[in-house]
Amino acid sequence: MYVRFVTEGAVTRSGVAPGFFQEAYDLVRRPETDPVTEAVQHELQWFEDNLLVPENVQSFCVRAKGVWHKDGVCWFRADASEAISHGHVLAALLEDHGIPVECIRTKNPGTIFYRDDMQVVAKPTYRKAS
């Protein structure tokens, strides 16, 4: 099982909702701060200290018709309980700021092309346009 925290916003080519990290970073970059924003920064710092970022940028790219697209989707592994717990905290803090976050789960995130102790990056199954 894999876990992902998503927000509303523009979906990728494959119909995947954006993850919550971008919203969190956008929030802490705002000039005004409050205790919730400071708590968001604290949670982001935990992820920066503990969650690996794949060194190979290609880990997030999918080649389609000769063009590289940043379609790789990150999922927490179900056994990464500490990261998922911090994810729930971060999601609750974002919701306190009016940013809806949904926790989704799947058994099949797509074709996995990066894996570490806490996460996978996968090429999602593409939805055909109707």
Query: Mean pLDDT throughout 22-34?
Result: 91
Q: Is residue 77 part of a domain?
A: yes
Q: Letter for the amino acid at 71? A: D
Does residue 11 fall inside a structural domain?
yes
Is the residue at 42 inside a domain?
yes
pLDDT exceeds 50 at position 129 = no
What confidence score (pLDDT) does residue 127 get? 53
Confidence of residue 94 (pLDDT cuts 50, 70, 90): very high
Q: Which domain holds residue 107?
A: 2-123
Average predicted confidence (pLDDT) for the chain: 85
In a domain, 129, yes or no: no
CB contact at 8 A, 84 and 5? no
Whether the pLDDT of residue 10 is over 70: the answer is no
Q: Give which of 40, 56, 41, 43 is closest to 116, Cα–Cα.
A: 56
Which range, of 13-17, 41-45, 50-54, averages the lowest pLDDT? 13-17
Nearest-CA neighbor of 47 among 95, 101, 14, 88? 88
- 130 belongs to a structural domain: no
Q: Does some domain include residue 10?
A: yes
CB 80 within 8 A of CB 51: no
Domain count for the chain: 1
Is residue 25 included in any domain, yes or no?
A: yes
Q: Which of 7-11, 38-42, 63-67, 112-116 has the lowest mean pLDDT?
A: 63-67
